Amino acid sequence: EGKEAHTPIIAVTAHALASEKHTLLNSGMDDYVTKPINEAQLIHIIHKWTGVNLHAEDDSESRTADENGGESAVDMKLGLKLANNKEDLAEEMLEMLFNALQKDKDTIRVLLEDEDYETLQEVVHKLHGATRYTGVPFLQEASQVLEENLKLEKFEAVKVLTNALLNEIERVIGWCEQNRDMAAH
């Protein structure tokens, strides 16, 4: 850093609970963003800390991405956006998620039955990470909420939240099976 200029330090994290955000900021970070970072978020954070005005190719698309999910378990438009508009990559990421969900749903059921919350948290963390790169907003939300409750040891909510997650997993699997051309090549 120069004598007069402050170089902002921005943490990039998979996701952070409120307490983790506080720790990041107290450790000297000026701000933080969660992955995956879309173009609009990047433009916003650059503008916030440098004052430089950049323009996204299509601002309205990024603002409405979550609203476009509707009731469908899979939002291909969002998946395409997360894959940087690379259709093959979006389809490959969805296929990888689909294949993982087949195994994960059984593992999650067993871990819940066994009340193995530590391992359940690890499996859900991995699943949540995968959902952030595919167009499955409801599955992403269900896995995030469950993961946060597991981290905070709110075990009284875990059974209901795990069942909600399993329902979303089934919805995504069902969508992929009905749309085989999108889910498997």
Predicted confidence (pLDDT) at residue 6 exceeds the cutoff of 90:
no
Q: What is the largest CA-CA distance in the chain?
A: 61
Between residues 53 and 138, the one the model is more confident about? 138
Token pair belonging to 138:
């409801």
Span 55-77, average pLDDT: 54
Q: Are residues 53 and 90 in the same domain?
A: no
Cis before 36? omega within 30: yes
| Residue that finishes a domain, picked among 64, 82, 97 | 64
| Overall domain count for the chain | 2
In this prediction, residue 43 carries a pLDDT of 67
Q: Is the same domain home to 56 and 125?
A: no
Integer angstrom CA distances of residue 36 from 41, 51, 133: 10, 23, 7
Instruction: Decide if 25 is inside a domain.
Output: yes
Place of tokens 């998620």: 97
* The pLDDT of residue 158 is above 80: yes
Per-residue CA distances from 20 to 11, 32, 82, 109, 130 (Å): 11, 11, 25, 29, 21
Tell me which of 64, 81, 103 is where a domain ends. Answer: 64
At 144 the pLDDT is 92
pLDDT of residue 7: 78
3 assigned to some structural domain: no
Split at pLDDT 50, 70, 90, the class of 68 is very low
How many Å apart are CA 66 and CA 85, to the nearest integer? 16
Residues 114, 159 within the same domain? yes
- Asked whether the predicted pLDDT for residue 168 surpasses 90, the reply is yes
- In terms of phi and psi (left: phi > 0; alpha: psi -120 to 50; beta: otherwise), the region of 153 is left
- Tell me which residue range forms the domain holding 78: 70-183
Among 23, 45, 64, give the residue marking a domain's end: 64
Q: What is the mean pLDDT of residues 40-47?
A: 69
pLDDT tens-digit readout, 119-154:
999 999 999 999 999 999 999 999 999 999 999 998
Of the chain, the percentage scoring pLDDT greater than 90 comes to: 52
Phi, psi of 24 (to 5 degrees): -60, -50
3-state secondary structure of 11: strand
> pTM, whole model, 2 decimals?
0.64
Cβ of 155: how many Cβ atoms within 10 Å? Answer: 11
pLDDT at 70: 42
